């Protein structure tokens, strides 16, 4: 067998196996839709429900943390959701200075492409 016919032989074998598997599967016709039945009442040919309802589990909401750090000049409020920093607000204690928000890094974006990370967002209140 030469090197040129080996890939052709492998491809032919895979196609034959795929056709044999496809012909071995049987298709059952769908039951006629009943306008009066809802999805919760719909049953298949064996009498099992078509739609199963999941029992409510004991799940906790997302862990949200509000951290506040203060010194003589600023007060920093940080909000974390599931341990990921979502919002940082810096409030200045110096009269006449406003507050601003620091945009944290988005973990779903590559650091090279996250150009807004670390930028300050000022709110002038207009």
Quick check: helix, strand or coil at residue 13? helix
The residues pairing with 84 across neighbouring beta strands, listed in sequence order, are 81
Cα angle 14-20-25, degrees, rounded to a multiple of 5 = 130
Is 109 a domain residue? yes
Is 71 a domain residue? yes
Q: Which residues, 6 or more positions from 64, have their beta carbon under 8 angstroms from its beta carbon?
A: 79, 80, 81
Is 29 a domain residue? no
Is 54 a domain residue? no
User: Which tokens go with 123?
Assistant: 């709110």
pTM for the model stands at 0.47
Tell me the residue range of the domain where 99 lies: 64-122
DSSP 117: T
What pLDDT score was predicted for residue 40?
46
* Mean pLDDT, each 10-residue run in order, the chain (126 residues): 62 66 58 52 67 66 87 92 89 87 84 78 66
Is 104 a domain residue? yes
Distance of alpha carbon 63 from alpha carbon 79, whole angstroms: 11
What pLDDT score was predicted for residue 49?
65
Q: Can you state the percent helix, strand and coil of the chain, rounding each to 5?
A: 15, 25, 60
Is 13 a domain residue? no
Structural domains in the chain (count)? 1
């Amino acid at each position: 067998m030469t090197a040129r016919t080996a890939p052709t032989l492998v491809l032919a074998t895979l196609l034959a196996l795929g056709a044999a598997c496809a012909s071995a599967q049987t298709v059952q016709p769908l039951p006629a839709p009943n306008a009066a039945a809802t999805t919760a009442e719909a049953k298949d040919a064996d009498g099992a429900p078509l739609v199963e309802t999941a029992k409510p589990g004991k799940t906790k909401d997302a862990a949200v943390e509000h951290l506040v750090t203060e010194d003589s000049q600023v007060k920093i409020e940080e909000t974390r959701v599931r341990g990921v920093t979502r919002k940082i607000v810096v409030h200045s204690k110096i009269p006449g200075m406003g507050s601003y928000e620091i945009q944290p890094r988005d973990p779903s974006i590559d650091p090279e492409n996250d150009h807004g990370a670390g930028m300050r967002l000022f709110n002038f209140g207009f």
